[in-house]
Amino acid sequence: MPISNEDLVKIQELRSLVKDKLTPYYDTDFNLLRWLQGHNYNVEMIKPKLENHLFLRKWDWDLDNMADAMRADPIQEHWRNGLTGESGVIPNVIINLEQTGKNDWWGMLATHPMNQILKSRVQDLEIMLARVMELEKKTGEQAHIMYVMDLGGLAWDRKLPGLLTGPLSALSAFMADHYVELIHSFVLVNVPTFISAVWTIAHPLLPERTKKKVVILGGNWKSEILKYANPSVLPSFWNQEGEDGPFKYHLKRCIPYPSEKFYKDQLPSEAETLTIPAGKSDSIDIYIDEDEDLKWEIHSDGTFNFMVYYVEDPRETTAVEDLAPATPYFAKVPGPTCCPLRERMKCHKPGIYRFIFTNDAWFYTVKITHLLERATRNS
């Protein structure tokens, strides 16, 4: 259905609050409508969340141009793009097949820093968003992505609970924070016998709106999935081997990581450590000259969040909410980290850049080992 007059009024109200931060690419009625739908039309609540997302869009990752960039990150050979096509059963829904059970999650985490994994996933999310925006422009109606999650191959071991409560929970939270109401539903197929144990762990960690979108298909999932999508947009590897079955879409399988690629380096000897008690924050200032960038390497023994701010005066005591952000807010960085986070950020003006690390846990201390460096631009 077209956008209602009532929604158009709220969309314009939200647009007026963030108009100086919106980019022409992202500024569509449907993109703003998603933020309203995801936060019960509470414009004042949405404003800071949307501003953080719009900051991320303009940050060094350049989200507006990600969908058109070549999909060439080495992670993407292992974590395949699963976009296939329109459902054909449910109007204005595009299918994305996620090979959740076959994905080598621990190999990925042992090989790449979490921020690189997140950036790689963001490109796929931007490709999904671009496809949705194209369909909305064509039909004049709101469109969504259906995440079909194939759990075939998922094995229960002692590491799985940590994966669910750490990295996968952080990725889910990031999607909920930045790609609000992009997902129509999460349809789980080929589920293992221990799915109830998986759901018991995952359920409390999911945002409320996400929980309501989860559908778990039973033993006849190959028949049941046809209520959601035509077989032409579902993967041919679901057919019996050697048979020309009903499922027609050719998707490349995920590739496991070789152990020789796992991170084995040591943190530099000059790295320092912050110890942050439960519920507390700490900060570090670093001065950047005119021709310098900022780079960092961060390792943690637990989950934390952080953000970098620009501070004109090193004696600055302004409240955090009044400081100028230099990075988006990363709300949940899962730890312990297998590989340290590594990033190089372009600094647009000289001055003090303040890292603020926060431990939101209720009962444990986090140790953050870090190397924050000035780097000559173009070096």
Which amino acid does the sequence have at 22? Answer: L
Nearest to 169 by CA among 118, 99, 217, 96: 118
For the stretch 344-372, pLDDT in tens is: 888 888 888 999 999 988 888 999 999 99
DSSP, collapsed to helix, strand or coil, labels residue 258 as coil
The mean pLDDT of 295-317, rounded to a whole number, is: 83
CA distances from 278 to 321, 335, 357, 360, 365 (A): 21, 14, 12, 6, 5
DSSP, collapsed to helix, strand or coil, labels residue 267 as coil
- For residue 137, the model assigns a pLDDT of 97
- Domains of the chain, by residue range, sit at 5-63, 72-261, 272-376
- pLDDT at residue 318 above 70? no
Q: Select 272-376's CATH number: 3.30.930.10, 3.40.50.2000, 2.170.120.30, 2.60.120.680.
A: 2.60.120.680
pTM exceeding the 0.85 threshold for the entire prediction: yes
Nearest to 305 by CA among 206, 164, 177: 177
- pLDDT at residue 304 above 60? yes
- For residue 28, the model assigns a pLDDT of 98
For the stretch 78-128, pLDDT in tens is: 999 999 999 999 999 999 999 999 999 999 999 999 889 988 999 999 999
DSSP, collapsed to helix, strand or coil, labels residue 162 as helix
For the stretch 18-49, pLDDT in tens is: 999 999 999 999 999 999 999 999 999 999 99
Nearest to 178 by CA among 307, 361, 330, 11: 330
Mean pLDDT of the chain: 91
- Helix pair angle (167-178, 43-58), 10° resolution: 110
Question: Which of the 8 DSSP states describes residue 65?
Answer: G
What is the distance in angstroms between the CA of the first residue and the CA of the last residue of the chain?
A: 53
DSSP, collapsed to helix, strand or coil, labels residue 298 as strand
CATH of domain 72-261: 3.40.525.10
- For residue 321, the model assigns a pLDDT of 67
User: Sheet holding 83-86: strands in order across?
Assistant: 83-86, 93-98, 144-150, 183-189, 214-216
**Do 72-261 and 272-376 agree at the fold level?**
no
DSSP, collapsed to helix, strand or coil, labels residue 226 as helix
Nearest to 14 by CA among 3, 135, 31, 1: 31
Q: Which helix (H) or strand (E) holds 376?
A: strand 366-376
Nearest to 90 by CA among 129, 141, 124: 141
